[in-house]
């Protein structure tokens, strides 16, 4: 399974979010403490961020392990952003290796997305799930992975919800839960201004871990705490955390 994080707040260096913490994504890629499946996240990594004045995010993604990339440190040292999503990938047996298209985060227009988990029985359910997509989003498929299908379903539901990010994510997760019981659906989704993070399993098995750290003017969410700050709190299972920098985090239960 993957480990991922998202940040929203005052401009921060990518290095300070992704590389420098004691239990950074680099450390989590080979020494995760709460990984439910697998042992290392070595099947690629990615970082997405928003530049000031540009509503569409930039991406830096590679198929190699994060610890082996020679260029990430240089990029992360100089790039600052108010909104960041990053992920390290452990390909699941349900999907396997699907090339660069399976490396997250994923982007479409102003939306940035990461999925830690899997859609249960995806090979048998892919056609059914993709049939729910409008023509333009169906045509946007670039790979064969379940995470991309989930992202496109979320985009379709956000559209149906008149652009409401939290409502769209909740509707998509509920739909996948009904059609693919047993799916693991921890997602991060942002439009650069607001952020939604889910900790959700469509069934009775434990959900993948997810933690939240709120500081004045910023919020940080991650699969595992990045450091020893006592402010890290676990997101309750079965919930979305709707995050912003000017209001208290709102928890929304996902209806199965």
**Residues labelled as active-site residues:** 2
- Report in angstroms the alpha-carbon separations of 97 from 3, 39, 89, 252: 17, 16, 10, 33
Within 13 Å, how many C-alpha atoms sit on residue 143's CB side?
Answer: 18
How many of the other CB atoms lie within 10 Å of CB of 47?
28
Two structure tokens written together for 62 = 């590679």
Two structure tokens written together for 248 = 């208290």
Q: Residue 78: left (phi > 0), alpha (psi -120 to 50), or beta?
A: alpha
How far is residue 44's CA from residue 29's CA, in Å, rounded to a whole number?
10
Strands 111-118 and 106-108: antiparallel
- Report in angstroms the alpha-carbon separations of 123 from 119, 142, 144, 166, 232: 9, 16, 9, 28, 37
């Amino acid at each position: 399974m993957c480990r991922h994080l998202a940040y929203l707040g005052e401009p921060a260096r990518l290095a300070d979010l992704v590389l420098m913490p004691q239990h950074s994504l680099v450390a989590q890629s080979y020494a995760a403490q709460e990984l439910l499946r697998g042992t290392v996240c070595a099947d690629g990594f990615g970082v997405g961020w928003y530049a000031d004045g540009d509503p569409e995010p930039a991406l830096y993604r590679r198929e190699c392990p994060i610890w082996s990339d020679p260029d990430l440190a240089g990029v992360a040292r100089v790039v600052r952003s108010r909104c960041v999503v990053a992920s390290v990938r452990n390909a699941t047996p349900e999907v396997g290796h699907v090339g660069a298209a399976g490396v997250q985060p994923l982007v479409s227009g102003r939306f940035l997305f990461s999925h830690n988990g899997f859609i249960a029985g995806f090979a048998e359910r892919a056609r059914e799930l993709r049939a729910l997509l409008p023509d333009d989003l169906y045509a946007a498929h670039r790979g064969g992975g379940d995470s991309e299908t989930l992202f496109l379903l979320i985009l379709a539901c956000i559209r149906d919800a008149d652009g409401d990010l939290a409502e769209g994510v909740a509707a998509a997760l509920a739909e996948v839960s009904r059609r693919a019981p047993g799916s693991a659906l921890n997602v991060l989704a942002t439009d650069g201004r607001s952020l939604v993070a889910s900790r959700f399993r469509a069934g009775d098995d434990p959900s993948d871990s997810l933690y939240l750290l709120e500081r004045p003017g910023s919020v940080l969410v991650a699969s595992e705490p990045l450091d020893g700050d006592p402010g890290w709190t676990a997101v309750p299972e079965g919930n979305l955390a709707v995050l912003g920098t000017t209001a208290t985090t709102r928890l929304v239960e996902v209806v199965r």
